[in-house]
Structure 1
Amino acid sequence: MKSGTVYSGVDGETSSPADARLVERVRRRLANAGSAADPQSVAEAVRAESSGVAGHLDVLDAVRLLRHEFVGAGPLEPLLDDPAVTDVLVTAPAEVWIDGAGGLRRTDVTFSDEEAVRRLAQRLALAAGRRLDDAQPFVDGWLPGAGPHGRVRMHAVLPPVAAGGTCLSLRVLRPAAHDLRALRRSGTVDDSGFRVLEAIVAARLAFLIGGATGSGKTTLLAAMLGAVSPKERIVSVEDAAEIQPSHPQVVQLVARPANVEGAGEVTLRDLVREALRMRPDRLVVGEVRDREVCELLNALNTGHDGGAGTLHANSPSEVPARLEALAALGGLTRSALHSQLAAAVQVVLHMARGTDGTRRLTEIGVVHRSREGVEVRPVWTASGPAADRELLASLLRDRGVEPPW
């Protein structure tokens, strides 16, 4: 069922213009009365707006129609329930896309008009505790509750910032279901890469995972953290609680934006400092995207082995330059950044996504000091060990772990 006037394509149901007018009248009645959108209140409002002559089946049909207006993600709910879907993207009333194992593809779901998309986006923003209107035309937040499909992160942009109309993006964070062995079975990593990842975790080497949005960075990070000894305590710091490793000792700290009055903000920089006071064995920053890279490198240089994080980068070799740009925001010079990086991080992993939607570990590099500063040397690629693999072998032996080749 679709939201608004036209609902064909989701579950075979359709609605008429009369249905849409009924929806609008019921919405106004509930709003004026200050009533909750529970089934009983909706049913009573439907009967009242139908002049009291509606039969039971008519009321049920109308309640089913209104459910998409008032509950959950409305017409997008069936898409979120599909376990193969990772993202639901609305780019126009007649353009609803999904992403997942099969790659990006268009669905049959359509909204009646731009106003229907806007109403849904504003309702979801309100549920996430955020403001979305002409004065604040974009929003990012988490929908409350996990639901059967897992947690959902929502992002929306209103026109005229979104020139083509309201854009709504929903990303599904499902409960952690992938450990390293599952990633090997799915083809994300082959047998040789699997053995290298196990060795990196066992040797407590600090690592960063790079790649593009949706390439599987967080999935790989959660899988590697799930392989950490249960005797170790993991403290993670994130903008949103995305990392959910299968591990008995995980403490999650989540940043908080300022409220509408501009107060109450808790930044990643604040949380990194707090995490250091919580006796972590491994400190994890969910995504390094700003000046908090300075705090992360400082923390990893205080004896906390095995730390980890993710960042957006085109390749392992470009990670130092990417970190330089972020560290500059925190007032760290290039030479200071390179010195900190060489001492704090040993390994860089890179995830890539193919045109068919598959996600694969494509390269592993080792952070190596050079005359120019720091560079990342490839030690493993998707085709097997690389020429500089002895750099990793040396790091592993220093930690008492035999190289897996």
Structure 2
Amino acid sequence: MHNECGVGRGEENLVILQGWSIAKRHALIRAQDDGMFIESTGGRAQVRVNGNAIKERQGPISSSDIVEIGDYRLRIFSDSVNNGTVQHNDHAAPSADQLDPAPPTPVAAPVEPAATPTESAATEIATTADAPPDMVVWRGRVHASLVKQMDLRRVDVRSLSDAELREKTAALIEAVLDKEYADLPKAISRRMLAKQVLDEAIGLGPLENLIDDNSVTEIMVNAHDQIYIERSGRIEKSPVYFTNDRAVLSAIERIVAPLGRRIDESSPMVDARLKDGSRVNAIIPPIALRGPSISIRKFAKKKLDGRDLYGYGSINEGMLAFLETAVRERKNIVVTGGTGSGKTTLLNILSNFIPDRDRIVTIEDAAELKLVQPNLVALEARPPNLEGKGQVTIRDLVKNALRMRPDRIVVGECRGGETLDMLQAMNTGHEGSLTTAHANSPRDAISRIEVMVLMAGMELPMAVVREQIASAVDMIVHQRRFPCGSRKVTHITEVTGIESGTIQLQDIFHFRVRSHHGPDGKVMGTFEATGAIPEFMEELADRGVKIDLSIFRKPKEDF
């Protein structure tokens, strides 16, 4: 007889569980004179009893209690109660063995390990009387019952369309609720429970409502029970969360699978996109220590244009008119800014100023740009396959784009050696090309571009690199996200050439901050011209392009 029962991944345990969140020795069940006790001995997944996390030790545990460890649910029995076998009748009459003062031998019976549609469900499902009236607990139990039904009916989900799968799954959920969960507590909304189970089974779980919420601009899943959102430029914690880590991983797989991408332990990071074009980055264990993590940069359902930038207070009319002229007249522009400053959105708006007659090739890691021009080719990079082959990088695509007879090349973001190829394209007949880069200011952008060119591995002298940049880049448009959440174009800067080995910059417009704490909590300031007129204005005037020079007039100082 055993007085202790180890639970974990290690083979020395009497109960062996699988999963990245399960420790080698995750928990210990002890049989004592006054009953069965469970101790948490370490591991990422919490040990819960009836939905409540235990701190160190809890007991005595009865056979009706549900013990949850990671994606598994267990019931603990004593062989003095059932002669060494797992009994499903919790109300059996006590036998003579129960009067033995010796401590009973613990026997852990798995009740409901989490499953996916391709796995078998558990052999025993806890009854509704055992569960606390908590929506997440109920969601997990109904989902497990749904998986069991799909497995028993041998539903081939791959042969169904999205609409058919949703309809069939919704019907199965209703059948499960009618048959097994007819006595739901009044605190649980059956309609809401059915929707949450449906979303988690075939959709993105609790993220579905956040994606449908137009006020949410960014979704950040730090862990299955910790989701943050950005709304109106401010970050706040969302009240919704996933049932467990496996539910998060399933949502990630549903995002990346249609794109032909993969995520697993050998390739734990992935960039992808949703159907509406929203950008997704996911990372899973063993890299992510707290469980699978998802970051979603949402795209506005309404297609933004230059007037929207003006309406949001991100730019003024003179700056917008100048940028439209610069794009139309084939000036090479680099959009810069920090993370979340709106570079890609601004690039998309500027790209739509390109005339319809031009042939455009767009190149991105994960397709986000939505251009309206008819003569458009959109290219997307590809990661390596399972054998580590087949990778297509941004640099490969930029090189290939030069053979596609483009008038303009638009690169979603330059991050490395492709910057050199982009500069070469700008210098060899592909004027009017656009790209973005991370930087904190226009001057910092030049330094960043220099470093990225060196990443191409060509070992070029710095003087040559700077000459390439000065001759290729015409303008830098810098956008900043302020602490209040507002995003503004703070600099429109012209690259005027190189002198004494230093690239010369000239601000044409800038945003002058008056106060960081306006009446509504937003930053206050004015968009102003510096008084400098771009050097290429004379060239445009010679070509007959009408220019309103009044937009470059410096405002009078306030005294």
Which secondary structure does the structure 1 equivalent of 2:135 belong to? coil
CA RMSD of aligned residues (A): 3.1
Q: Offset of 1:185 from its aligned partner?
A: 2.0
| Structure 1, 262-271 or 306-315: larger mean CA deviation | 262-271
Q: Offset of 1:182 from its aligned partner?
A: 2.2
Q: Name the structure 2 match of 1:251.
A: 377
Change (3 A) 1:400 1:254: farther
Deviations 1:35-60 (A, max 9, x none): 3254425644874x6795677x9997
Change (3 A) 1:248 1:70: same
**Contact 2:327 2:353 (8 Å CA) reproduced:** yes
d(CA) in 2 for partners of 1:109, 1:182: 31
Q: 1:233 aligns with which of 359, 373, 388?
A: 359
d(CA) in 2 for partners of 1:399, 1:352: 34
1:342-353 matched pairs, under 5 angstroms? 342-353=470-481
1:6-405 matched pairs, under 5 angstroms? 15=135, 17-30=137-150, 33=154, 35-36=156-157, 38-40=166-168, 43-44=171-172, 47=175, 52=179, 63-143=194-274, 146=275, 150-174=276-300, 177-332=303-458, 333=460, 334-367=462-495, 368-382=497-511, 383-386=527-530, 388-391=532-535, 393-394=537-538, 396-397=540-541, 400-401=544-545, 402=547, 403=549, 404-405=551-552
**Contact 1:259 1:265 (8 Å CA) reproduced:** yes
More helix by percentage: 1
What TM-score comes out, normalization by structure 2 length?
0.63
Which secondary structure does the structure 2 equivalent of 1:288 belong to? coil
Change (3 A) 1:331 1:257: same
**Contact 2:314 2:487 (8 Å CA) reproduced:** yes
**Contact 2:509 2:528 (8 Å CA) reproduced:** yes
Count residues with an aligned counterpart. 389
d(CA) in 2 for partners of 1:54, 1:82: 30
Unaligned stretches of 5+ in structure 1? 6-12
**Contact 1:233 1:282 (8 Å CA) reproduced:** yes
Q: Offset of 1:217 from its aligned partner?
A: 1.2
Deviations 1:70-123 (A, max 9, x none): 222121111111223221111133322222434222222123444443443344
d(CA) in 1 for partners of 2:373, 2:362: 12
d(CA) in 2 for partners of 1:399, 1:109: 58
Which secondary structure does the structure 1 equivalent of 2:478 belong to? strand
Change (3 A) 1:380 1:27: same
What TM-score comes out, normalization by structure 1 length?
0.85
d(CA) in 2 for partners of 1:224, 1:365: 15
| Amino acid across the alignment from 2:156 | S
Which secondary structure does the structure 2 equivalent of 1:151 belong to? coil
Deviations 1:6-34 (A, max 9, x none): xxxxxxx9636355223224325535735
d(CA) in 1 for partners of 2:536, 2:484: 32
| Structure 1, 187-196 or 98-107: larger mean CA deviation | 98-107
d(CA) in 1 for partners of 2:302, 2:171: 39
d(CA) in 2 for partners of 1:353, 1:362: 10
**Contact 2:169 2:198 (8 Å CA) reproduced:** no
**Contact 1:30 1:45 (8 Å CA) reproduced:** no
Deviations 1:147-168 (A, max 9, x none): xxx2233222224422333321
d(CA) in 2 for partners of 1:25, 1:264: 40
Deviations 1:173-227 (A, max 9, x none): 3456222222112211112211221231233211110011221112212212212
| Amino acid across the alignment from 1:384 | E
Change (3 A) 1:309 1:395: farther
| Amino acid across the alignment from 1:202 | R
Change (3 A) 1:112 1:70: closer
| Amino acid across the alignment from 1:380 | F
Which secondary structure does the structure 2 equivalent of 1:104 belong to? strand
**Contact 1:379 1:392 (8 Å CA) reproduced:** no
**Contact 1:188 1:359 (8 Å CA) reproduced:** yes
**Contact 1:366 1:392 (8 Å CA) reproduced:** no
Change (3 A) 1:82 1:96: same
Q: Percent identity?
A: 33
Unaligned stretches of 5+ in structure 2? 1-70, 74-132, 158-164, 512-526, 553-559
d(CA) in 2 for partners of 1:82, 1:16: 21
**Contact 1:283 1:308 (8 Å CA) reproduced:** yes
d(CA) in 2 for partners of 1:357, 1:61: 33
d(CA) in 2 for partners of 1:124, 1:28: 24
Which secondary structure does the structure 2 equivalent of 1:221 belong to? helix
Q: Offset of 1:302 from its aligned partner?
A: 1.2
Change (3 A) 1:240 1:19: closer
Q: Offset of 1:67 from its aligned partner?
A: 0.7
d(CA) in 1 for partners of 2:148, 2:448: 51
**Contact 1:206 1:347 (8 Å CA) reproduced:** yes
| Structure 1, 276-285 or 306-315: larger mean CA deviation | 276-285
